[in-house]
Amino acid sequence: MSRVRQAAGSVAFTAYLFVSVLPYSCWALLTAPFAPRDHAWRVACSWAGTVIALLRILCGLSYRIEGTEHLPQQPAVVLMKHSSAWETIAQLILFPRHTWVMKRQLLWVPFFGWALALFSPIAIDRKGGRRAVEQVLRQGQERLAEGRWVMIFPEGTRVAPGERRRYGLSGALLAAVSERPVIPVTHNAGDFWPRRGLMKRPGTIRMVVGPPIEAAGRSPRDVNRDVEAWIESTLEEIRQEDGQETT
């Protein structure tokens, strides 16, 4: 694919990504009071499906997920690498029904944030310290008991490929107090859809789901250390196998 065509496809895709939020958000908001409980979730998955499909058609960027046999039957806590916007969208169609730990300011965004509220996210104040952690523990256990998985980006923000950021402890704490396993997930989406980057590189994003890491009866810090080690070492292996630079 020529550079000009790649740029044109990236612009067209980005335009769709932003413009499509309004009609899908309105669809979910207007129909939620009259529709079945999971209707808003199906709307969100429909939107994510169109985004992922257009990413392949317009930008030549597809994905492959490995390790789905590690996903347990019961809801769990997923700790996922965060390097791109891709995983925030793809997770909707790749994982069982779930909710997210996210910054509460997103709920204030007109239409998009209002629609997010339909999924009962765990919306925290990132500067809340102990109160934010207690909120994750309280509401996280409630969501798990309701049958929803809890998705957490332990780095807290998107981190560029090759860079590292301290992993927050709240996900491991939630897994320990709820006696649920942690499912570590890593991927190399940041190499193809970079943070604040308009251009999307063609290729295949690889997402890998790791074996469950038991948290019950263990120190959350030890659990977190195991999760970080698996995510970062597996990501390095992916990047080396795919011929991407590592630092």
What CA–CA distance (Å, rounded) separates 157 from 159? 6
Residue percentage of the chain with pLDDT more than 90: 88
Residue 126 lies inside a defined structural domain of this protein: yes
Q: In what order do the strands lie in the sheet with 77-80?
A: 61-66, 203-209, 182-187, 77-80, 149-152, 98-103, 122-124
Structure tokens at 208: 């890998």
Residue 21 lies inside a defined structural domain of this protein: no
pLDDT tens for the chain, 247 residues: list them.
Answer: 688 999 999 999 999 999 999 999 999 999 999 888 899 999 999 999 999 999 999 999 999 999 999 999 999 999 999 999 999 999 999 999 999 999 999 999 999 999 999 999 999 998 878 899 999 999 999 999 999 999 999 999 999 998 999 999 999 999 999 999 999 999 999 999 998 888 999 999 999 999 999 999 999 999 999 999 999 999 999 999 888 664 4
Residue 41 lies inside a defined structural domain of this protein: no
Provide the number of structural domains found in the chain. Answer: 1
Residue 246 lies inside a defined structural domain of this protein: no
Residue 153 lies inside a defined structural domain of this protein: yes
What CA–CA distance (Å, rounded) separates 76 from 98? 9
3-state secondary structure (DSSP) of residue 212: coil
The pLDDT of residue 247:
43
Residue 57 lies inside a defined structural domain of this protein: no
The pLDDT of residue 246:
47
Spell out a b/e string for 80-113, using b for 16 or more CB atoms within 10 Å of the CB, else e: bbbbbbbbbbbbbebbebbbbbbebeeeeeeeeb
Residue 17 lies inside a defined structural domain of this protein: no
Residue 66 lies inside a defined structural domain of this protein: yes
Could you say which DSSP state residue 16 is in? H
The pLDDT of residue 245:
60
| Owning domain of residue 175 | 62-241
- The answer to whether 28 and 111 are in contact (CB under 8 A) is no
The pLDDT of residue 35:
87
Q: Where are the beta strands (DSSP E) in the chain?
A: 61-66, 77-80, 98-103, 122-124, 149-152, 182-187, 203-209
Query: What does pTM read for this prediction?
Result: 0.94
Residue percentage of the chain with pLDDT more than 70: 98
The pLDDT of residue 1:
62
